[in-house]
Amino acid sequence: MHTYDNPVISGFHPDPSVCRVGDDYYLVCSSFEYVPGLPLFHSRDLVHWEHIGNVLDRPGQLPLPLPGAKASGGLYAPTIRHHDGRYWVVNTNIDGGGNFVVRAERPEGPWSDPVWIDLPGIDPDLAWEEDGTCWCAFSRPEGGINMARIDPVEGEVLEGPFATWSGSGLKYPEAPHLYRIGDWWYLLIAEGGTERGHSVSIARARSPRGPWEGAPANPLLSHSGTARSIQNTGHADLVQAPDGSWWMVLLGVRPRGFTPDVHVLGRETFLTPVEWREDGWPVVTPVPESHPAPGGAWHPVPALTARDDFDTTALAPHWISPFARPEDSWSLTERPGWLVLSATGTTLDRPGYTFVGRRQQHHDCRVTAVIDPDTGRGGLSVRLDEAHHYEVEVGDGEACVIARIGPLHQTVARRPVGPGPLTLTIEVRTSDLVPASPELTDGGTTGPDTLAFRVGDPGAPDTRPLAELDGRYLSTEVACGFTGRVVGMYAIEGAVAFDWFEYVPVLTPDA
């Protein structure tokens, strides 16, 4: 029997929604301020997921930069469904436009332009009755979970919205998903906030109009107050496998470090089994670190390429940029075999800069790139937002390590370097941590990890770190927000070329 390890999609992949079509599963996640928007995954076994594209992958689908976009703004909580031969995604752009629907004949796209729906709130969901009636459930801050009957093709609201069921009394009832299972309609929601109190609850009714009855065992799932290594469990979606078994995808985090613990990878996608009792209520297994896999064939997918040599004509779907990626800010053809980034801003401290990165997906990892800064200034950066980022930067014959932590912006190390090309390396490790100040924990360590920054010549990278920094300042608990670390390449002056970029997980006994 096969077993799987959680998370099934690691790194900043929150708010998962899943649907099954035949033997295939498709899953989307929130992307917030990053573009392309709404990463789309495919699986044949619920365990191995391949990133096959992004639902919002062209400027015409949304105005870019996202209007009014800010860190942890943008695109919240999509739902993916398959109905009447089409794939549907409903989503919220909280910074401009509100709720919208896109559709496609194939999950790989192309996806349509958004059809906007005049409904207040966030976290929309779609469900259809047998006669084709389409319902949209959504979260309304002042009114809990609401329901409306809509035309998803035209975006017209046909009935409602009206209040339904708003949970067991915990704060922030949100993330509704509506299902017809047997003779009942079920309404699955998240409540308790997306922090340590996050949980999953459910109600049922004979009609989408209610009245709704909450499950006597609510919340169905919560790791709040437990010693489990996976915390903040919530924002879930249900799916039935071909063998009849039921499963739940949901978000969670893996906090580390000294109390109160911090998480740095963002909210990730986890998988846990669901059983149905004779009285018609589901029972959800606490999210395991490992568990027997769903029945059926085992379908490993190609691993995400660790190294990108930039020898194609388009960027792979896992490459993302904050707020926008103007066409004139990057090129794979200007210097064949290199990614050339042209500066659109002079600092990473405010939106408008050129950055192409990927999510950090492992607690221990190493990122290396070869850079030619001959006509500009840039480097490698680990980003949470404009006020929380570390980078190793080269330009004007000098390499430096820079830390931005809230109001503090400081160059922590400098070194003269040759004209390039140069090798830049960021190593993230959870062992041999940088000691905390003597006033804290008797000089012990407090952070979840250490980030080491190196500069060297290609083929012979310098083994001495230029600087080592405490990773706790690039955690959600310090920076706040809904995202996780993204590590990537940037330019803030002129044009900077990258020959290749490599991301390698580093296996350690406690990783």
pLDDT digits (tens, 9 = 90+) for 123-168: 999 999 999 999 999 999 887 999 999 999 999 999 999 999 999 9
Supply φ then ψ for residue 70, to 5 degrees: -145, 170
What is the Cα–Cα distance from 323 to 345, expressed in whole angstroms?
Answer: 13
Check whether 422 has a pLDDT greater than 50.
Answer: yes
At 445 the pLDDT is 64
Cβ proximity of 4 and 289 under 8 Å: no
Tens-place pLDDT, residues 428-452: 999 989 886 655 555 566 789 999 9
CA 273, 276, 277, 280 dihedral sign is positive
Tens-place pLDDT, residues 309-365: 999 999 999 999 999 999 999 999 999 999 999 999 999 999 999 999 999 999 999
At 306 the pLDDT is 87
| CATH class of residue range 307-505 | mainly beta
What is the Cα–Cα distance from 260 to 255, expressed in whole angstroms?
Answer: 9
SS3 state at 449:
coil
**Spatial CA neighbour of 288 closest among 239, 240, 230, 247:** 230
At 157 the pLDDT is 98
Cβ proximity of 314 and 471 under 8 Å: no
Domain positions in the chain: 3-292, 307-505
Cβ proximity of 223 and 259 under 8 Å: no
Tens-place pLDDT, residues 258-289: 888 999 999 999 999 999 999 999 999 999 99
Supply φ then ψ for residue 363, to 5 degrees: -65, -35
Q: What confidence category does residue 509 fall into, taking pLDDT thresholds of 50, 70 and 90?
A: low
List active site positions: 15, 174
How far, CA to CA in Å, does 237 sit from each of 177, 201, 234, 272, 476?
A: 7, 11, 9, 11, 24
**Spatial CA neighbour of 282 closest among 377, 177, 356, 362:** 177
Q: What confidence category does residue 508 fall into, taking pLDDT thresholds of 50, 70 and 90?
A: low
Check whether 66 has a pLDDT greater than 80.
Answer: no
Tens-place pLDDT, residues 173-186: 999 999 999 999 99
Q: What confidence category does residue 461 fall into, taking pLDDT thresholds of 50, 70 and 90?
A: low
What radius of gyration do the chain's Cα atoms show?
A: 23
How far, CA to CA in Å, does 371 sit from each of 113, 123, 317, 375, 395?
A: 37, 41, 22, 11, 10
* DSSP state, residue 428: E
At 511 the pLDDT is 45
Amino acid 77 reads A
Structure tokens at 263: 């998480």
Percent of the chain surpassing pLDDT 90: 86
Check whether 217 has a pLDDT greater than 60.
Answer: yes
**Spatial CA neighbour of 127 closest among 168, 165, 181:** 181
What is the Cα–Cα distance from 479 to 484, expressed in whole angstroms?
Answer: 10
The verdict on pTM exceeding 0.75 is yes
CATH number of 3-292, picked from 3.90.1150.10, 2.60.40.1180, 2.115.10.20, 1.10.10.10: 2.115.10.20
**Spatial CA neighbour of 426 closest among 482, 362, 349, 477:** 362
- Burial of residue 52 (number of CB atoms within 10 Å: 0-12, 13-18, 19+): middle
Structure tokens at 91: 């989503």
Check whether 44 has a pLDDT greater than 70.
Answer: yes
Q: What is the mean pLDDT of the chain?
A: 94
Supply φ then ψ for residue 465, to 5 degrees: -65, 140
